[in-house]
Amino acid sequence: MLNENTKVPICLVIGASHAGVNFAFSLRKQGWTGSIIIFDKDPETPYHRPSLSKSYLTSADETNNNLLKSLESYEKENITLRLGVFVKKIDRINNTVITEDGAIHKYDKLVIATGARPLIPPIKGLDKATEVYTLRTAYDATTIRRKVKEDTNKRVLIIGGGYIGLEIAASLRKLGTSVTILERESRILARVTSPMMSQFFYDVHTLNGAQIHTNKNVSSITSINYTNTITCDDSTSYEAELIILGTGIIVNTELAKDAGVQIENGIKVNQACQTNDKDIYAIGDCTFHHNPHYNLFVRLESVQNAVDQAKIAAASICGKEVVYNSIPWFWSDQYDIKLQMVGLPFDCNETIIRNEEETTYKFSIWYFHNDELLAVDAINNAKAYVLGTKSIKEHLKINKTNLRDSSLKLNLANLILKK
């Protein structure tokens, strides 16, 4: 249905996860008085996704206890939700989007927050295996939780030793489920963290009863009598009743690409999250943007990036001069371990490990390029995370000798070099 005769400006949002929802509320807060409509193919009221691989798997919660905003909040801010609706085309010439049912929706501003979807690896026999799951939506998590709880003797095999695979493993081990992780690289978390952090989490999972096998590239899967046999290219094989794929993601750029929006490792945006079309913005996991602090283009999969870009895009649409210049941060919860990460360790040529004296489960890794602090990984150590964040943002020079000395308190007085 076209809205050609109305003078009320219309902003359409494609995607109702953290980026899309936070954008809609930020846009209203910035003073947008026109219509705001959010489309998403997921029929559920928008919910928090990070907890799906963590507490959601081990609890009895439903998405109603995990909502980003209450339904009353959308009504109060006059934000329309069109859930279970798939947008199939963007028409930039006519400033419209077309949904799967053929309906045409006019926009003055369009925000793409399409995120990503799980990567399905080309494994022989995967399509014929029984009980194979990914974890991206509440439906996925609810299904896995139900399948595991209805038969506690089920063996679960997770393909992929990244953060999502490890978080799922930790959650399922809390339920007493047998868990095996197969990682094709020489160590878990190989593409995202240091060897020491990889070893730390390998030890944590092993102590908690999960089996981790590295250098395991899955080549085929066969299924007989509801039991899957997973075979690797080194001829080793493993059996499991349930398989979970944690093999990465594919960025949802097809809709933007088909419309002629510039794509480069995601939807390329400027400092205001605007694409090469002045009326189209993109935010969240699907974007490729420049980070001024590190002077490089990056694509980030994080709630922080989604929320911060949402605010920037909203302000820009409302006519304000803005620049996206946030320091990235991430987190992961596994068993009783909280990992907090800040910064990007690109071009790192030195790492310093600081062990706190009171426990082996409290330490931090500091990543440097010469004297510049690039990033900090903190295990059960919020202070290291906070101090690291401040130091990176303000380009503070770290006293590396004091940093290594765990007998000294971790504070700014001891940490920062005096000028």
Six-digit token string for 231: 């075979």
Using CA atoms, how far apart are residues 94 and 357, in angstroms rounded to an integer? 64
353-360 CB contacts, 8 Å cutoff, 24+ apart: 353/196, 354/384, 354/403, 354/404, 354/406, 354/410, 355/406, 356/381, 356/406, 356/410, 357/406, 357/407
Judge whether 11 and 31 are in contact, CB under 8 Å: no
What is the residue-wise DSSP string for 234-270? TS-EEEESEEEE-S-EEE--HHHHHTT--BSSSEE--
What is the residue-wise DSSP string for 325-394? -PPPEEEEEETTEEEEEEE--TT--EEEEEE-TT-TT-EEEEEEETTEEEEEEEES-HHHHHHHHHHHHT
Whether CATH 3.50.50.60 fits 126-248 = yes
The pTM of the full predicted model, rounded to 2 decimals, is 0.94
Domain boundaries, the chain: 10-115+252-317, 126-248, 336-415
Whether CATH 1.10.10.10 fits 336-415 = no
Equal fold, 126-248 vs 336-415:
no
- Could you please state the CATH topology (level 3) that the domain comprising 10-115+252-317 is classified under: FAD/NAD(P)-binding domain (3.50.50)
Residue 338, Cβ neighbours under 10 Å: how many? Answer: 16
Per-residue model confidence (pLDDT) at position 6: 52
CA dihedral 231, 232, 233, 234 (to 10 degrees): -110
Per-residue model confidence (pLDDT) at position 65: 82
Q: Which residue, chain included where needed, has tokens 């038969």?
A: 151
Per-residue model confidence (pLDDT) at position 7: 78
Six-digit token string for 205: 């999972």
Residuewise pLDDT in 10s, the chain (419 residues): 344 455 799 999 999 999 999 999 999 999 999 999 999 999 999 999 988 999 889 887 777 788 999 999 999 999 999 999 999 999 999 999 999 999 999 999 999 999 999 999 999 999 999 999 999 999 999 999 999 999 889 999 999 999 999 999 999 999 999 999 999 999 999 999 999 999 999 999 999 999 999 999 999 999 999 999 999 999 999 999 999 999 999 999 999 999 999 999 999 999 999 999 999 999 999 999 999 999 999 999 999 999 999 999 999 999 999 999 999 999 999 999 999 999 999 899 999 999 987 666 899 999 999 999 999 999 999 999 999 999 999 999 999 999 999 999 999 999 998 76
